[in-house]
Amino acid sequence: MFIDPVFGVVGLVVVVLTFIFLRRFLHLGKIEKIEKLIEEKNFDKAIEPLKSMIIKDDENVLAHYYLGICYFNTNNYEWAIPEFKKVIRNPGFGKQIKEIEVREKLAKIYLHYNQLEEAQKEFLLMTQLDPKNYKNYYEIAQILQKQGFLDAALTYYQKTLERNPKLPEAYYNVGLISYDKKKYNDALSHFSDALKYDTALHKAHYYIGMIQYMNKNYEKALGEFAYSERDSEMRPKTILQKGKIYIEMGQMDRAINVFDGYLKNISSENSVTLAMHYNLASAFEMKRNIISAIEQWEKIVKIKPSYMDVQDKLSEYEHLRVDDRIKDFIVASKEGFQIMSRNIVEMWNYQIIKEDMLDDENIEFLATEAGSKWRNTRKIRILILISRKNNKVEERELANIIDNMKINNTMKSVYVSVSGFTDNARQYAQNRPIDLIDKEKMTKVLEQADIYAKDKIKNKLSKTE
């Protein structure tokens, strides 16, 4: 039987076209199933059939794109990257897939891995693809700001605001850059603009408060901090600054309440909480509550032994950590300090002529020897200064007491200090009529004064019986 060659060729073409049609039909059917799985967020189920399609046809751009989407949405970013790169390298991918969508996902992945330069490249390309979209300019500005290229960041924040003049975060970040550059008036203006478009952007209040704090406008600063405290990120730093303001205002009780209220609820320590402990210790020290101050310094040392001057503080008050009498002497009320000081002077067998409470930490006595077996013998006058201040006594302070000796016509003086004396002060006292009683001798002195006080009470009671 003879078959016309033309019909043979036509038949072959029909067979080939039918095969191609069926293959394309089956392919489209698989793609539709995969698209449905992706739409239903069944990314894991879509991965295996997509991989099978790619094995059969590695140039299937749509399959690579959908596989990248599945990896991206299951947080397998390292596997998504090569799939998306395969897509954008294909010259014809734009017919089926939007380039900007692929680059947007690549940029997010690079940001996730902190590959800022790679992310920046993608955002730059997206500004060319969609020049009116402010988001890409904003992302570039943020990257430049993180890298420390502040002037370049300002340029891109400006481009952002040209496209969206009501974006509060852009104004906020421009304010941060101005703040870092110490252009505080500009910073105030930008933070105010940020709050104009988002009154709930409480973190802007923190920096406005800091500027007011630096200008010593404490009440205004506290007003701003009342808002920034509502921001969970800014709250620790805000608490720290509020406490520091109260200290500078001399309101120690309020500072203590602020710091203590926050610190008792923390679960872990960081640089901000360490600063809180340190400032809390300072507030306690100023209130003469040295024991509580020591507790804070000891907490700091356990976390960071080299923190500021904490080791020096603990050394300065080492005697308080082991001796209860000295501890009581230092933390006593003003009246208690006066009584204990009188007992010391009387225990030394001196009769007090004059008593002068110089301040909460220093008291001066003019006294004479209490008695002599010779009636007409002139009693020796003595000047006694007792100090419980934190710092060691310096040479100039000894010079002052020598001058006071001349004024009060005294032959001898005694300087008592629980904190001790500097080397220059000790050298100055040599060959001069002044005895130094330091913290090493104070334990014995206070013990003897305590016995004297108890005996005095017993004698009074016995006389009344």
- pLDDT tier for residue 38 given thresholds of 50, 70 and 90: confident
- Supply angle C-alpha 268, 270, 273, rounded to 5: 90
The whole-number pLDDT of residue 135 equals 97
Structure tokens at 272: 């901000």
Q: Which tops the pLDDT comparison, 138 or 35?
A: 138
Tell me the chain's radius of gyration from C-alpha atoms.
40
The share of the chain scoring above pLDDT 90, in percent, equals 66
Residues sharing a CB contact under 8 Å with residue 285, sequence separation 6 or more, in sequence order = 293, 313, 390
The whole-number pLDDT of residue 179 equals 97
- pLDDT tier for residue 24 given thresholds of 50, 70 and 90: very low
Task: Say if residue 126's pLDDT is above 90.
Answer: yes
Task: Say if residue 70's pLDDT is above 50.
Answer: yes
- pLDDT tier for residue 158 given thresholds of 50, 70 and 90: very high
Task: Say if residue 50's pLDDT is above 80.
Answer: yes
The structure tokens 């004698």 sit at 459
The whole-number pLDDT of residue 322 equals 62
Q: Which tops the pLDDT comparison, 316 or 427?
A: 427
pTM: 0.69
The whole-number pLDDT of residue 153 equals 97
Q: Which tops the pLDDT comparison, 181 or 441?
A: 181
182, 170, 109: which is closest to 140 by C-alpha?
Answer: 170
The whole-number pLDDT of residue 387 equals 93
Domains along the chain with CATH numbers: 202-316 (1.25.40.10), 333-464 (3.40.1350.10)
The whole-number pLDDT of residue 290 equals 84
Task: Kindly report, residue by residue over 297-326, the tens digit of the pLDDT.
Answer: 999 999 999 999 999 999 887 766 667 788
Please provide the distance, in angstroms rounded to a whole number, between the alpha carbons at the two ends of the chain: 154
Task: Say if residue 154's pLDDT is above 50.
Answer: yes
Mean pLDDT check: name the lowest of 153-157, 253-257, 281-285, 441-445. Answer: 441-445
7-21, 24-38, 197-211: which has the highest mean pLDDT? 197-211
Q: Which tops the pLDDT comparison, 7 or 363?
A: 363
434-437/381-387 β-pairing? unpaired
- Supply angle C-alpha 61, 67, 70, rounded to 5: 145
Q: In what order do the strands lie in the sheet with 381-387?
A: 350-359, 362-369, 381-387, 412-417, 434-437
361, 366, 359: which is closest to 418 by C-alpha?
Answer: 361
Return mean pLDDT, the chain: 88
The whole-number pLDDT of residue 35 equals 85
Task: Say if residue 364's pLDDT is above 90.
Answer: yes
Task: Say if residue 10's pLDDT is above 70.
Answer: no
The whole-number pLDDT of residue 3 equals 55
Task: Kindly report, residue by residue over 89-123, the tens digit of the pLDDT.
Answer: 886 665 678 889 999 999 999 999 999 999 999 99
Task: Say if residue 368's pLDDT is above 50.
Answer: yes
Mean pLDDT check: name the lowest of 99-103, 129-133, 378-382, 459-463. Answer: 459-463
- pLDDT tier for residue 160 given thresholds of 50, 70 and 90: very high
The whole-number pLDDT of residue 333 equals 87
CA distance linking residue 88 with residue 90, whole number of Å: 5
The whole-number pLDDT of residue 321 equals 67
Query: What would the mean pLDDT of 321-345 be, rounded to a whole number?
Result: 85
CA distance linking residue 301 with residue 294, whole number of Å: 10
23-27, 168-172, 349-353: which has the highest mean pLDDT? 168-172
Mean pLDDT check: name the lowest of 152-156, 228-232, 311-315. Answer: 311-315
CA distance linking residue 195 with residue 198, whole number of Å: 5
Other Cβ atoms within 10 Å of 30 Cβ, number: 15
422, 425, 288: which is closest to 359 by C-alpha?
Answer: 288
Task: Say if residue 250's pLDDT is above 70.
Answer: yes
Mean pLDDT check: name the lowest of 82-86, 204-208, 326-330, 400-404. Answer: 326-330
Task: Say if residue 19's pLDDT is above 50.
Answer: no
Task: Say if residue 141's pLDDT is above 90.
Answer: yes
- pLDDT tier for residue 439 given thresholds of 50, 70 and 90: confident
- pLDDT tier for residue 138 given thresholds of 50, 70 and 90: very high
Task: Kindly report, residue by residue over 194-212, the tens digit of the pLDDT.
Answer: 999 999 999 999 999 999 9
Query: What would the mean pLDDT of 124-128 be, rounded to a whole number?
Result: 95
